[in-house]
Chains A and B, each alone.
Chain A
Amino acid sequence: MLKTIALVGNPNVGKTTIFNTLTGLRQHVGNWPGVTVEKKEGIFKYRDKEFLVVDLPGIYSMTAHSVDELIARNFILEGNADVIVDIVDSTCLMRNLFLTMELFEMGAKNVIIVLNKFDLIKKKGVEIDIKEMQKVLGVPVVPTNAKSGEGLEELKRLIVMMAEGKITTNPVIPKYDEDIEREIEHVSQVLKGTPLAEKYPIRWLAIKLLQRDEEVIKLVLKYLGQSKMDEILKHIGELEQKYKRSLDIVMASQKYDFLEELLRRFVRHPAEIRETLSDQLDKLLTHPVYGLISMVIVFYILFQFVFTLGGPLQEWLDSAFSWLGEAIAPHIANETLRGLIVDGIIGGVGAVLSFFPLVFLLFVGMSILEDTGYMARIAAMMERFLRVFNLPGKAIIPMVLAFGCNVPAIMATRTLENERDRILTMLVNPLVPCVARMVVITFLAGTFFPGKAALVAISIYAIAIALALLSALILGKFFIKGEESPFVIELPEYSIPSWKTVIIHSWERSKEFLRKAATVILLGSIAIWYLSSYPQSVGTGLSYAERLGRAFEPIARLMGLDWKAAVSLIFGIIAKENVIATYSVIYGVSEESLAGAMVHAMTPLQAYVLALVTTLYLPCIATLAAIRAEGGIKWMVVAAVYNLTLATVVGILAYAIGSVI
């Protein structure tokens, strides 16, 4: 068994950078069992020894009000970590050490404190006496600057020593006033001797009971029974009467007082909060008007960067795959096998894989925005507007990314802390038109509405976005319940991102995309190839795809469309551009002369409905695969059914309204 090292800390303290330094490229991302919270693990090698590093979710406290906190708390409580590396932002010691105090209160002894961003604190004129700090807190303390790598060698050395049991610690434990200490003692006596006391530190259980921690109350109730529990709660109620406020607030306040006393012994402040340049910038960037304008500019630059750099790469990959198909084809004698490999696998998977440069670059851009601290400002600015639609401010990030490609957008929902927010954002995200759908929209708008193409295209975008917001409003109100998280966001200090972190982060996330291409997308492509080639190829009217199209024809008819549209939409599930490509196969014309053929076969209204339905119906398989990976099969099915229903209803309505006009 490898010894386990757990990284704990507040968000934005530099945990990821330290995790990357320890594990390098020997890491992988998954989900914690049962929940969609990112689980990062990696192997840390030191000389000839290996350790498992687990990056726990970034949290402010161990109150277990969110899934993230619960994960971190249970991981520590269950004694899964041989060494706990507690990463502390030295520019914000008080709040960061609050979490450390909770850690100590939970009985954790095997802790190393990392004082990260130590270079910044010096600049601010704050002095920290490390030796005294170690003595006061009772555990080793290492000052570091994760970005430059300063102090990390020392950290590695300490980790190994602690893992091997060569360091003894004596963590300080927060003390409360007499009344509370007496009550803690009283509750501890009641708990003594129960099986719980063997599993968890008694003092911690008692403190959590005083704070009316729901999880702990449930746990203790099982062992003590209702009557003893009632007695404890009665005592707590009496104390609260005395303080005239709830004990969690009283204890938090006392814990901060206790911490302040400790800090006085090893920190010298010039303190005095002064307004800084970044405060001025914050006011501007969180302003509903100026903030919005700057956001539009920033995202415009982001998309320029992604498409100027990624566009040619995508085209190059696309032609590389066609070349590969053509090169391989003559060497496969068996016709079925050739079809499977060339059209099914290389054609289908290649179409999706060619998007990889775009996905990767989108993640690079997003990581940069995140690491500079800008994302938090956008989230703060958008909070008010998006809350109206039951979405958190942070949801703006996946929503904007979705204009590029829904896949990284779905993956970006990971940055949302709350489960309900995440599911909701994930479900409405596919309604935002991506580049592939833009191709279909602009083709149809340009072909059928010459002179008014832009207006038509914009109307489709507007309908799609309005439906996304409306869906969030309705789904959030009636179907996806859960507690709304209160709006409090830390605005991290602006900083220059570390390239290493940006690249590793983007690679880690986009690797998922490749993995999907190798599994779900591969299977999907093969299935669709099969449907379109058997028993005879598309165009003959006999293929399964065409029969399926005819089966769906009654529904298509309601939207004013025919079986050809149904077939195109089925193929569009691989990648939405296929909607157009399929028409050229059915009509047997090249894509260049398709416009002419289609104008004769369709009315502008039908074209409009087709563009609209293409935008709204089932997302492409890559997106469905992303939803499955992030939220599980259940939400993938919900998303598919929801989008399909919505597209059908809107399509029928649009046709009906259009026919009247």
Chain B
Amino acid sequence: MYVPLTALNEGEAGVVVDIQGGPNARAKLVAMGIAPGVTVKVIKGRGPGPMIIAVGSSRIAIGWGIARKIIVRRV
């Protein structure tokens, strides 16, 4: 099932399928390791403050606005 990254709960992981949004945002995400095929895990989800996700061993804080544009497949 394909859902936006924001739909994942804390502790859940997903494989990135697509990234929507402008070329600028896309390029930045891809370069930071968030590309189709990559598994990401939600460290901090819903609630106040930015989302925090794990990509490999690095941690990335990401705004809800762009997180909504990252489409993932639940694993």
Q: Are B31 and A99 in contact (CB under 8 A)?
A: yes
Q: Let me know if A124 is at the binding interface, CB within 8 A.
A: yes
Q: Are A291 and B33 in contact (CB under 8 A)?
A: no
In the assembled complex, the CB of B58 is this many whole angstroms from the nearest CB of chain A, namely 5
Report the Cα distance A91→B34, complex, angstroms.
16
Q: Which of A65, A255, A283, A287 contacts B24 (CB 8 A)?
A: A65
Proximity string of chain B (17-47) to chain A, C-beta cutoff 8 Å, 1 when within and 0 when not: 0110101111111111111111001011000
Contacts of B30 in A (CB 8 A): 61, 248-249, 252
Report the Cα distance A253→B71, complex, angstroms.
14
Contacts of A376 in B (CB 8 A): 61
In the assembled complex, the CB of B13 is this many whole angstroms from the nearest CB of chain A, namely 7
Of all chain A residues, the one with the shortest Cβ separation from B60 is A490
Q: Are A95 and B18 in contact (CB under 8 A)?
A: no
Q: Which of B26, B41, B61 contacts A489 (CB 8 A)?
A: B61
Q: Let me know if A78 is at the binding interface, CB within 8 A.
A: no
Q: Are A487 and B57 in contact (CB under 8 A)?
A: no
Q: Let me know if B54 is at the binding interface, CB within 8 A.
A: yes
Given A249-B35, A488-B66, also A273-B54 (CB < 8 A): yes
Contacts of B23 in A (CB 8 A): 65, 212, 246, 248
Q: Are B57 and A91 in contact (CB under 8 A)?
A: yes
Q: Which of B24, B48, B61 contacts A288 (CB 8 A)?
A: B48
Q: Are A486 and B36 in contact (CB under 8 A)?
A: no
Where chain B touches its partner, the secondary structure class is mixed
Of all chain B residues, the one with the shortest Cβ separation from A278 is B59
Contacts of B26 in A (CB 8 A): 246, 248-249
Contacts of A86 in B (CB 8 A): none
Q: Which of A63, A282, A380, A381 contacts B27 (CB 8 A)?
A: A63
Q: Are A273 and B33 in contact (CB under 8 A)?
A: no
Chain A contacts with B in 269-299, Cβ cutoff 8 A: 273, 275, 278-279, 282-283, 286-289, 291
Given A65-B23, A283-B43, A488-B29, also A384-B36 (CB < 8 A): no
Given A60-B31, A287-B49, also A488-B56 (CB < 8 A): no
Q: Which of B18, B28, B44, B65 contacts A249 (CB 8 A)?
A: B18
Contacts of B56 in A (CB 8 A): 92-95, 273
Report the Cα distance A252→B31, complex, angstroms.
8
Q: Are B37 and A487 in contact (CB under 8 A)?
A: no
Of all chain B residues, the one with the shortest Cβ separation from A256 is B35
Given A486-B24, A491-B61, also A98-B50 (CB < 8 A): no
Chain A contacts with B in 474-490, Cβ cutoff 8 A: 483, 485-490
Of all chain B residues, the one with the shortest Cβ separation from A120 is B57
User: How many residues of B are in contact with the other chain, CB < 8 A?
Assistant: 40
Q: Are A98 and B33 in contact (CB under 8 A)?
A: yes
Contacts of B54 in A (CB 8 A): 273, 279
Q: Are B37 and A491 in contact (CB under 8 A)?
A: no
Q: Are B55 and A95 in contact (CB under 8 A)?
A: yes
Contacts of B13 in A (CB 8 A): 273
Report the Cα distance A286→B18, complex, angstroms.
27
Contacts of A291 in B (CB 8 A): 49
Q: Are A249 and B61 in contact (CB under 8 A)?
A: no
Contacts of A94 in B (CB 8 A): 33, 56
**How many contacts A-B (CB < 8 Å)?**
147
Q: Let me know if A383 is at the binding interface, CB within 8 A.
A: yes
In the assembled complex, the CB of A329 is this many whole angstroms from the nearest CB of chain B, namely 58
Report the Cα distance A383→B64, complex, angstroms.
11
Chain A contacts with B in 28-70, Cβ cutoff 8 A: 59-61, 63, 65
Report the Cα distance A383→B43, complex, angstroms.
18
In the assembled complex, the CB of B37 is this many whole angstroms from the nearest CB of chain A, namely 5
Q: Are A486 and B18 in contact (CB under 8 A)?
A: no
Q: Let me know if A245 is at the binding interface, CB within 8 A.
A: yes
Report the Cα distance A487→B63, complex, angstroms.
5
Proximity string of chain A (65-100) to chain B, C-beta cutoff 8 Å, 1 when within and 0 when not: 100000000000000000000000001111100110
Q: Are A95 and B37 in contact (CB under 8 A)?
A: no
Given A212-B23, A282-B43, also A485-B28 (CB < 8 A): yes
In the assembled complex, the CB of A262 is this many whole angstroms from the nearest CB of chain B, namely 15
Q: Which of A212, A249, A485 has the most CB of B within 10 A?
A: A249
Q: Let me know if A132 is at the binding interface, CB within 8 A.
A: no
Q: Are A384 and B57 in contact (CB under 8 A)?
A: no
Chain A contacts with B in 373-421, Cβ cutoff 8 A: 376-377, 380-381, 383-384
Contacts of B27 in A (CB 8 A): 61, 63, 65, 248
Q: Are B48 and A287 in contact (CB under 8 A)?
A: yes
Q: Let me know if A257 is at the binding interface, CB within 8 A.
A: yes
Q: Are A486 and B60 in contact (CB under 8 A)?
A: no
- Listed in ascending order, the chain A residues whose CB lies under 8 Å from chain B are 59-61, 63, 65, 91-95, 98-99, 124, 212, 245-246, 248-250, 252-253, 255-257, 273, 275, 278-279, 282-283, 286-289, 291, 376-377, 380-381, 383-384, 483, 485-491
> With A256-B37, A282-B44 given, can you name 12 additional A-B contacts, CB distance below 8 Å?
A65-B27, A92-B33, A92-B56, A95-B56, A256-B38, A273-B54, A288-B49, A487-B65, A488-B28, A488-B66, A490-B59, A491-B59
- Nearest first, the 6 A-B pairs at minimum CB distance are A61-B31, A487-B63, A60-B31, A95-B33, A253-B36, A380-B61
- Listed in ascending order, the chain B residues whose CB lies under 8 Å from chain A are 11, 13, 18-19, 21, 23-38, 41, 43-44, 48-50, 52, 54-63, 65-66
15 contacts between A and B (CB under 8 A): A61-B31, A95-B33, A95-B55, A245-B18, A246-B23, A248-B23, A248-B30, A249-B19, A250-B36, A282-B43, A288-B49, A384-B50, A384-B63, A485-B24, A491-B59
